[in-house]
Amino acid sequence: MGGPCPTRGQRRRAATAAHRAAAPACPLAGRRARDPRGRRGADPADQGGDVRPFFGAEPAAAPLTGTAPAAATATAPLVDLSRPFDSTPAQDWADGAAGIAAPAPEAVGGFSAEQVAAATALVRDVLVASRLDRRMVVDHDPSAFLDKLAPDARRQLEPLFIGGREPEVQSLVSLVSDTAKLLPAQAKVDGEMNVTAGDAGELVVHTNYVFVYAFEPQGPTRLVDAMNVLVVVRADVDYVLRAGDHWTASSQGLWYGDATGYAYSMGCETYRKGYLTPASTERAVTASQSREPATYFDPASPLPATSGCPA
């Protein structure tokens, strides 16, 4: 992992020694916020967020030295697909949307407590639509997500969901490859959001969440590690509510701001195209002696500086 980077999370979970193995990580490909020039008289195309690359790492299925534990050679798999998150840091996290909670509302800047509550509720709905709703994640239908954004923001993002441009929106949404299938288990979610004042007429909702998705194994593979079927996505996204006379009517509403993060234990080839599959779909499965690093599950951990996927 790279040097410390600012994050939105306020919790610091200690990683146990069993989860400290060095592992490459890759930033998510995405959009970084441009200078907010979307005020009256300005070109709305300059109002979007700055989306930095999302990194990815696939160490969970990478070849390891040494031998697998004796249990890994047994006939029975070591992963219970009815409880795919067991033995990982995500096993006790909330399921799906229950893991996304808005903070207690209070007045911020020129926005009342009621306006702040409405903004955080909208951002929660956007996170559900972009990271958990199977219409987006599985069917690749962005309409529920785009409908919640300002008209000019929607106009900017809508073309990125077609024509091979999906990597450009990877820091804002999760898309499962058509070659993969999710297990029935809901994604596990952990993280938080908080609110600050932005420029005049702006309310910024900082979101910092980790989403863990469970996939059906492909083929006759005998699973030896939970990470053979899991993909971890960390997303740090600022959403900016713009309101009032500072903004044209089509620019009023919710925008994306700075966005970054990473994916862990995903297939790199598929990931480069903007989609998620487990690393085990591209590498032979192995039992990791040190298991997955707990830091990749920690929303408060520093973001990686480089990609762990082969060039």
CB under 8 Å to 257, separation ≥6 — which residues? Answer: 33, 49, 50, 204, 237, 238, 239, 240
CB under 8 Å to 258, separation ≥6 — which residues? Answer: 32, 33, 49, 50, 51, 52, 236, 237, 238
Could you tell me what percentage of the chain is helix, strand and coil, using 3-state DSSP and rounding each to the nearest 5? 25, 25, 50
**pLDDT over threshold 50, residue 250:** yes
In order, the DSSP letters of 11-66 are: --PPPPGGG------EEBP--EEPP---BTTS-GGG-SEEBPPBEEE-GGGS--SS
pLDDT band with cut points at 50, 70 and 90 for residue 1? very low
pLDDT band with cut points at 50, 70 and 90 for residue 144? very high
Contact predicate 194/206, CB 8 Å? yes
The model's pTM is 0.80
Contact predicate 285/221, CB 8 Å? yes
Q: Which residue has the higher pLDDT, 240 or 35?
A: 240
Mean pLDDT of the chain: 79
Distance of CA 38 to the CA centre of its chain: 26
Question: pLDDT tens-digit profile of 56-73?
Answer: 554 443 322 223 334 444
Question: pLDDT tens-digit profile of 228-242?
Answer: 899 999 999 999 999
The token pair that represents 61 in the structure block = 């299925």
**pLDDT over threshold 80, residue 25:** no
